[in-house]
Amino acid sequence: MSKVHVTTTVNGDAVEFLADPRETLLDCLRDHVGLTGTKEGCGTGDCGACSVEMEGVLVCSCLVLGVEANGKRVDTIEGMSDGHDLHPLQRKFIEHAALQCGFCTPGFLVAAKALLARSPDPTEEEVRYWLAGNLCRCTGYDKIVRAVMDAAAEMRQEAA
């Protein structure tokens, strides 16, 4: 199948690649752009390990075709920290031991960041429902929810 030239912006950088029209955005990020922080856990939009933001909207990159990213802005886990300065969510995940194997962690962080952008002071229930599309098999979610709540509190304090 002939390939399509895709021009996009990933984490602020201009990126070009040739995509087979059957390839997902997840495939393109991992195989063509070389950003393997975004993970495939299911390929069917059920686990959230491939969460990225496209044009500021949280999506499962396994459910988006690579060619759809043409002309769009994509943000992944690799763009979450500011150089060495970790995003508060990243710091709180380490501090709260909110990861064990760490495979689902990029997806959780990207999804949680999208939550805090729209709801800076979420209830525990809100966090749990927002993150219901992200599967974690190691932690039982307890420490993840605590880390997100704590990061939100810190971000509110910084904003105040």
Residue of the chain from 139, 150, 151, 155 that contacts another protein (CB under 8 A) = 139
State the Cα torsion 54-60-62-66 to the nearest 10°: -10
75 binds another protein (CB under 8 A): no
51 binds another protein (CB under 8 A): no
17 binds another protein (CB under 8 A): no
Q: What three-state secondary structure class fits 99? A: coil
Convert residues 94-133 into a mask of x (bound to another protein by CB under 8 A) and - (unbound): xxxx-xxxxxxxx--x---------------x-xxx-xxx
26 binds another protein (CB under 8 A): no
135 binds another protein (CB under 8 A): yes
- Alpha-carbon distance 78 to 128, whole Å? 24
Choice between 39 and 71, CB closer to another protein: 39
- Alpha-carbon distance 5 to 98, whole Å? 39
| CA 20, 21, 25, 26 torsion-angle sign | negative
